[in-house]
């Protein structure tokens, strides 16, 4: 029954998901956590943004100055030939929450180095929420975790070293 399914599973049947359309930057810490969990090293690449929104970072100079290399590229998760995230499985992400990239853990929170935005990012299909259900409730997310992941994300972003 649809009411028992996790929102991301319903989303995947309904539309192209964030795991299929997003370019996921991974921090040096993300790379270490994922390598440790998977034993793989082939899941990242340096690539320039396909979507101009990823480059427009004037509201977040910390992000702009640390994530992007001089040629405009940044470290992102590889995608499968069909565009899916390399870690997208039939029922969502195949990695445990504490291994996933910080960007993925934070979605749909919108943020800059200054903190979390009061407004959530657009993209989740709100029409799939059950009556009376909030987006954060459906995703089993809370602000305290998001604030912790946000701090960790910006600590790791600032450890970025480009050669």
Q: ω into residue 108 within 30 of 0, thus cis? A: yes
pLDDT category, 3, cuts 50, 70, 90?
A: very low
pLDDT of residue 1: 41
pLDDT of residue 56: 66
Is the pLDDT confidence value at 65 over 60?
A: yes
Is the pLDDT confidence value at 2 over 60?
A: no
Contact by Cβ (8 Å): 94, 87: yes
pLDDT of residue 130: 81
Phi, then psi, of 51 in degrees rounded to 5? -110, 125
Average the pLDDT over each of 25-29, 42-46, 97-101, 115-119 and give the range with the smallest value: 115-119
β-bridge partners, 75: 46
Phi, then psi, of 64 in degrees rounded to 5? -55, -45
Contact by Cβ (8 Å): 112, 120: no
Q: In angstroms, rounded to a whole number, what is the distance separating the alpha carbons of residues 114 and 59?
A: 10
């Amino acid at each position: 029954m649809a009411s028992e399914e996790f929102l991301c599973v319903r989303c995947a049947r309904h539309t192209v998901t964030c795991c299929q359309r997003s370019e996921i930057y991974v921090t040096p810490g993300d790379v270490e956590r994922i390598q440790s969990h998977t034993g793989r090293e082939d899941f990242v690449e340096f690539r320039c943004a396909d979507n101009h929104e990823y480059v427009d970072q004037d509201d977040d100079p910390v992000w702009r100055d640390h994530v992007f290399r001089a040629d405009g590229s940044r470290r992102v998760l590889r995608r499968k030939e069909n565009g899916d995230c390399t870690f997208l499985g039939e029922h969502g992400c195949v990695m445990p929450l504490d291994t996933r990239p910080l960007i993925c853990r934070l979605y749909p929170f919108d943020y800059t180095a200054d903190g979390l935005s009061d407004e959530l990012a657009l993209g989740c299909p709100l029409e799939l929420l059950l009556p009376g259900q909030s987006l954060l409730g459906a995703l089993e997310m809370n602000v305290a975790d998001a604030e912790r992941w946000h701090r960790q994300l910006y600590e790791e972003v600032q450890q970025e070293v480009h050669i």
